[in-house]
Chains A and B, each alone.
Chain A
Amino acid sequence: MSEAVQKNARMLPYVSAITEGVQQVLREQDNAFVAGEDVGQAGSVFGYYQGLLAEFGDRRIVDTPISEKGIIGLGVGAAATGCRPIIDVMFMDFLGECMDEVANQMAKMRFMFGGGATLPITVLTMAGAGMNLAAQHSQSWEAWLAHLPGVKVVMPSNAYDAKGLIIAAARDDNPVFVVLNKMSLAMPAEVPEEMYEVPIGKAQIVKEGTDFSIFGIGRMVHEALAAAKTLEELGVNCEVVDVRSIQPFDSETAVASIKKTHRALIVHEAVRFGGFGGEIVAQLQEQAFDYLDAPIARVGAPFSPVPYSPALEQVYIPNAGRIVTEVKKVLGL
Chain B
Amino acid sequence: MAKKISTKVLTDLHLNMVRIRRFEEEAGKLMEDGKIPGALHLYVGQEAVASGVMAHLNNQDQITSTHRGHGHVIAKGGQFSPMFAELYGKATGYCKGKGGSMHISNMALGILGANGIVGGGPPIAMGAAFSNKFRKSKQVSVTFFGDGASNEGSFHEAANMAALYQLPCVFVCENNGFGEYTAQSNHQAVTDVADRAAGYGMPGVVVDGMDVMAVYEAAEAAVKRARSGAGPTLLECKTYRYYDHVGVRGMGLTYRTDEEVEAWKQRDAIESFEALLVKQGVMTQKKLDNVYARVDADIQEGIAFAESSPFPTEDDLLEDVYFVGAKS
- Taking a contact as CB atoms under 8 Å apart, the answer to whether B99 and A112 are in contact is yes
Interface centre among A68, A111, A113 (most CB of B within 10 A): A113
Interface: A279 (CB within 8 A) = no
Residues of B within 8 A of A260 (CB): none
With contacts A74-B161, A77-B125, A120-B328 known, is A115 near B117, CB below 8 A? no
With contacts A70-B126, A75-B127, A115-B96 known, is A105 near B107, CB below 8 A? no
Q: Mark B59-76, 1 if CB is under 8 A from A, else 0.
A: 000101000000000000
Kindly state the separation between the CA atoms of A119 and B327 in the bound complex, as whole angstroms: 12
- Taking a contact as CB atoms under 8 Å apart, the answer to whether A112 and B128 are in contact is no
- Taking a contact as CB atoms under 8 Å apart, the answer to whether A113 and B105 are in contact is yes
Minimum CB–CB distance for A161 against chain B, Å: 19
Of A38-46, A80-88, A292-300, the stretch lying at the interface with chain B is A80-88
- Taking a contact as CB atoms under 8 Å apart, the answer to whether B131 and A83 are in contact is yes
Kindly state the separation between the CA atoms of A168 and B244 in the bound complex, as whole angstroms: 48
Q: Mark B104-137, 1 if CB is under 8 A from A, else 0.
A: 0111000011011100101111111111101100
- Taking a contact as CB atoms under 8 Å apart, the answer to whether B130 and A77 are in contact is yes
Residues of A within 8 A of B154 (CB): 69-70, 73, 100-101
Residues of A within 8 A of B141 (CB): 77
| Contact-residue bracket for chain A | 35 or more
Interface: A252 (CB within 8 A) = no
Residues of B within 8 A of A70 (CB): 123, 126, 154, 157-158, 160-161
Kindly state the separation between the CA atoms of A173 and B320 in the bound complex, as whole angstroms: 12
Interface: A310 (CB within 8 A) = no
Interface: B245 (CB within 8 A) = no
Residues of B within 8 A of A109 (CB): 113
Residues of B within 8 A of A115 (CB): 96, 319-320
Interface: B103 (CB within 8 A) = yes
Scan residues 170-201 of chain A and give those whose CB is less than 8 A from a CB of chain B: 171-174
Interface: A65 (CB within 8 A) = yes
Minimum CB–CB distance for A109 against chain B, Å: 7
With contacts A114-B98, A115-B96, A173-B328 known, is A73 near B123, CB below 8 A? yes
Interface centre among A68, A74, A83 (most CB of B within 10 A): A74
Interface: B9 (CB within 8 A) = no
A109, closest chain B residue (CB): B113
Picked from A31, A110, A171, the residue with its CB within 8 Å of the CB of B327 is A171
Residues of B within 8 A of A75 (CB): 127
Scan residues 130-175 of chain A and give those whose CB is less than 8 A from a CB of chain B: 149-150, 152, 171-174
Residues of B within 8 A of A111 (CB): 98, 320-321
Residues of B within 8 A of A173 (CB): 323, 325, 327-328
Interface: A220 (CB within 8 A) = no
- Taking a contact as CB atoms under 8 Å apart, the answer to whether B105 and A112 are in contact is yes
- Taking a contact as CB atoms under 8 Å apart, the answer to whether B321 and A69 are in contact is no
Residues of B within 8 A of A105 (CB): 115, 117, 120, 123-124
With contacts A65-B160, A110-B320 known, is A77 near B123, CB below 8 A? yes
A63, closest chain B residue (CB): B164
Residues of A within 8 A of B323 (CB): 110, 118-119, 173-174
Interface: A325 (CB within 8 A) = no
- Taking a contact as CB atoms under 8 Å apart, the answer to whether A83 and B135 are in contact is yes
Kindly state the separation between the CA atoms of A101 and B122 in the bound complex, as whole angstroms: 11
- Taking a contact as CB atoms under 8 Å apart, the answer to whether A104 and B98 are in contact is no
Minimum CB–CB distance for A156 against chain B, Å: 20
- Taking a contact as CB atoms under 8 Å apart, the answer to whether B124 and A77 are in contact is yes
Residues of B within 8 A of A73 (CB): 122-124, 126-127, 154, 157-158
Residues of A within 8 A of B255 (CB): none
With contacts A67-B161, A113-B107, A150-B322 known, is A81 near B327, CB below 8 A? no
Interface: B48 (CB within 8 A) = no
Interface centre among A77, A82, A104, A172 (most CB of B within 10 A): A77
Q: Mark A19-55, 1 if CB is under 8 A from B, else 0.
A: 0000000000001010000000000000000000000
- Taking a contact as CB atoms under 8 Å apart, the answer to whether B161 and A65 are in contact is yes
Picked from B99, B117, B161, the residue with its CB within 8 Å of the CB of A100 is B117
- Taking a contact as CB atoms under 8 Å apart, the answer to whether B127 and A74 are in contact is yes
Nearest 3 CB-CB pairs, A to B? Answer: A73-B123, A77-B127, A70-B157
What are 29 A-B residue pairs whose CB atoms fall within 8 Å in the complex? A67-B160, A68-B157, A70-B154, A70-B160, A73-B124, A73-B127, A75-B127, A76-B127, A81-B135, A81-B139, A83-B130, A83-B131, A84-B328, A100-B120, A100-B154, A105-B120, A112-B98, A113-B99, A114-B96, A114-B320, A115-B96, A115-B319, A116-B95, A117-B107, A149-B321, A150-B321, A171-B327, A172-B327, A173-B327
Q: Give 17 A-B pairs besides A100-B154, A114-B320 with Cβ atoms closer than 8 angstroms.
A: A69-B123, A70-B157, A70-B161, A73-B124, A76-B123, A78-B128, A83-B135, A105-B124, A112-B103, A113-B98, A114-B99, A115-B96, A117-B107, A120-B328, A150-B322, A172-B327, A173-B325
Listed in ascending order, the chain B residues whose CB lies under 8 Å from chain A are 62, 64, 93-99, 103, 105-107, 112-113, 115-117, 120, 122-132, 134-135, 139, 141, 153-154, 157-158, 160-161, 164, 319-323, 325, 327-328
